[in-house]
Amino acid sequence: MRFPLRLTADLTLGLARQALRGNARRPLIFRFAPMEEPDRPLLAGEKPRHGQESVSGMLAGLEECAAPVVWIGGPEPLGHPEIARLTRGIVERRRHVFLQTDGDLLRRRIHEFQPLPRFFLAVEFNGLEESHDLRAGRKGAFHTAVEAIRTAKLSGFHTCAYTAMDANTRVHELQRLGEYLQALKMDGWVILPSSDPASPAACKREAARHKLRDARRLIRGRRWRWLSERLEAAATPRPAAEPTPAPGLASEPQSERDIYDEGVQLP
């Protein structure tokens, strides 16, 4: 799986700025959930939200951060009526955008998007067909995700697979999934622990951390593994009293080790 040169360059530049300015809090990734419920637990660095914000308001909030990557996730983002306008506005601000989706609405709405160099469609694959359909709660979900990928690739979009591991995820199944994704010619793959409230305790156990590391070794491309780790850090809930930079955006909580464990350059 090939990591885009432009994404490599922008992340490397972001790491260099952190080192030169000594600013360990400068985020590399902001997580953004336009369809999230306003009373959910806040992520690290995120301000409380009161109802659904306008696209102009969300873009204005983005100006307050300098993260080179914006990950749009949470409840199905394609359910937002102006999601195409939002992603286009973020890309125009020279950010890399990953739009997470289960693929169900993609074929219906893909004509609203443009296959831009900084734009990725991140389609969920939580195992092979039986496991994925079980997690999705409906038969045919895996087939829908595969068709979404094929449609995206025919239209010239960058594609990325997104896997959220829970306590029932089997690493040997993910190995077969990785081979399947390779056959689909996916551009990338990220693996994170599930944010399902029913499974976080299991995901925090040491055995589960080993399992997550084993799963990430299946990703073909160490930079995609590196991105998975940084995206996981960006998904960490923040303490209620922690200061917050921008509305609707979740900054990546980073310690000095997080930034310098692999040097200033990307792996």
pLDDT, residue 245, reads 41
pLDDT tier, 159 (very low <50, low <70, confident <90, very high otherwise): very high
> How many of the other CB atoms lie within 10 Å of CB of 134?
15
pLDDT, residue 31, reads 87
pLDDT, residue 240, reads 43
Query: pLDDT for 207-221, tens place per residue?
Result: 888 999 999 999 999
pLDDT, residue 180, reads 97
pLDDT, residue 106, reads 96
* 4: DSSP letter: P
Answer whether residue 190 shows pLDDT above 90.
Answer: yes
- What DSSP assignment string belongs to 41-76? PPBTTEEP--SPPPHHHHHHHHTT---SEEEE-SS-
The residue type at 163: T
Mean pLDDT of 70-81: 93
Both tokens of 81, joined, read: 């009526």
Mean pLDDT of 113-131: 96
pLDDT, residue 60, reads 81
pLDDT tier, 21 (very low <50, low <70, confident <90, very high otherwise): low
Q: Are 194 and 165 in contact (CB under 8 A)?
A: yes
What are the structural domains of the chain? 5-259 (3.80.30.10)
Q: Are 231 and 190 in contact (CB under 8 A)?
A: yes
pLDDT tier, 241 (very low <50, low <70, confident <90, very high otherwise): very low
Query: pLDDT for 27-62, tens place per residue?
Result: 789 888 888 755 444 444 444 444 456 788 888 877
**What order do you get walking across the sheet with 29-32 strand by strand?**
188-193, 158-165, 119-124, 96-101, 69-72, 29-32, 250-251
Q: Rounded to two decimals, what is the model's pTM?
A: 0.81
55/146: higher pLDDT: 146
pLDDT, residue 33, reads 87
Across all residues in the chain, what is the average pLDDT?
Answer: 81
